[in-house]
Structure formats: C-alpha cells, structure tokens
C-alpha cells in the first residue's frame, strides 16, 4: 500500500514539474513577443538573423531526389517518382537515415508504370560514395537506360557518367 502511495506522489510531482516548465516556456515566449527590445532590428540577435537571411542561398550538401508526386488518374505514364492516383497492388514508401555521416549522399527514384507496363515497378537507390553528384545524376537519368540489353546498357551508362565526371574535373 505504501509503495502505491509513493508512486502516486512521484507521478503527481512529475506532472506538476512538467506543467511548471510548460508555463515558464509560454510566459517567456509571450514576454519576448511583447518586449520592444526583441522587435527592433538593432537587437544583436535579430540583426544577425537578418544579415544571415539576406545572404546568397547556399547549396545543400545533401543529395536531392526529384520530388514525389501523385498522378491525377490511375496511370503515371512512366513519370519519375510519381504515385498512381488509383490502387494497383503495391505502395511505394521512402525513408532515409544518414547514420554517422555528416551529409546524406544517397538519392532514390521509382517509376510505378515502368517501360509502359502498368504496375511494373522500377525502384532504385543510389549511394553517393563520398559525393552526392553521381547519386543525383543516377537518380535523374538511370531509368532512361534502355532495358532491352541490360548488360550493354549498364556499361554504356557507366561509361557516359565516367566521361561526364572527367569533363567536370577538367573544367575545375
């Protein structure tokens, strides 16, 4: 019986502490909103924020994949990263975790109606291998490689990407 009373007291104390912390946060927010010091651009924090926001946009170090959209009807017409507007037997989900790395270098792509076949899926993940540019390029272009001769097509795509990389390095 005593154990249950101690447990109840501890739970009540924890709830009271949480409510007090929330109330302090609320009042701190309200006091800053009403304080003219925080509404003036001469305040050092606001001046720094204003200066940072007026800078040129910086390219993200993370790899980008084409945005995911949903088709208006049942067919995606082979569009990249587009869900079908009607159920067709499977769903596509995307998640990522950069783990220990500083940036996310992987890209993805999917096509629900690949090669003009309704429901035939193309799903790909491209690892950046210490750089996002190759993964981004593959995510945007790898599906264009013809599927009639996969071995030759893969070799041609690799050769093409290698040539682009060489030209890019020479230009630098």
Same-domain pairing of 49 and 117:
no
Q: Please count the structural domains in the chain.
A: 2
Same-domain pairing of 80 and 162:
yes
Residue 122 included in any domain: yes
Q: pLDDT digit string (tens) for 74-93? A: 888 888 888 888 887 788 88
Same-domain pairing of 90 and 162:
yes
Q: What is the pTM of this model?
A: 0.51
Q: pLDDT digit string (tens) for 148-169? A: 667 777 777 778 778 877 877 7
CB under 8 Å to 35, separation ≥6 — which residues?
A: none
Residue 60 included in any domain: no
What's the CA gap between 162 and 154, in Å, rounded? 12
Residue 106 included in any domain: yes
Residue 64 included in any domain: no
Residue 61 included in any domain: no
Q: Which domain covers residue 19, as residue numbers?
A: 2-53
């Amino acid at each position: 019986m005593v154990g249950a009373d101690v447990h109840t007291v501890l739970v009540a104390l924890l709830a009271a502490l949480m409510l007090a912390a929330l109330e302090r946060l609320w009042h701190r927010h309200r006091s800053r909103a009403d304080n003219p010091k925080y509404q003036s651009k001469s305040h050092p924090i606001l001046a720094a924020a204003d200066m940072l926001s007026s800078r040129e946009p910086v390219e993200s170090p993370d790899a980008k994949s084409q945005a995911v959209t949903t088709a208006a009807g049942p067919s995606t017409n082979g569009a990249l990263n587009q869900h079908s507007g009607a159920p067709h037997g499977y769903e596509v989900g995307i998640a990522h975790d950069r783990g220990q790395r500083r940036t996310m270098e992987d890209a993805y792509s999917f096509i629900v109606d690949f090669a003009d076949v309704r429901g035939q899926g193309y799903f790909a993940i491209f690892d950046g291998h210490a750089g996002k540019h190759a993964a981004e390029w593959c995510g945007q272009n790898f599906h264009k490689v013809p599927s009639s001769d996969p071995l030759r097509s893969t070799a041609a795509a690799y050769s093409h990407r290698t040539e682009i990389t060489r030209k890019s390095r020479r230009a630098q």
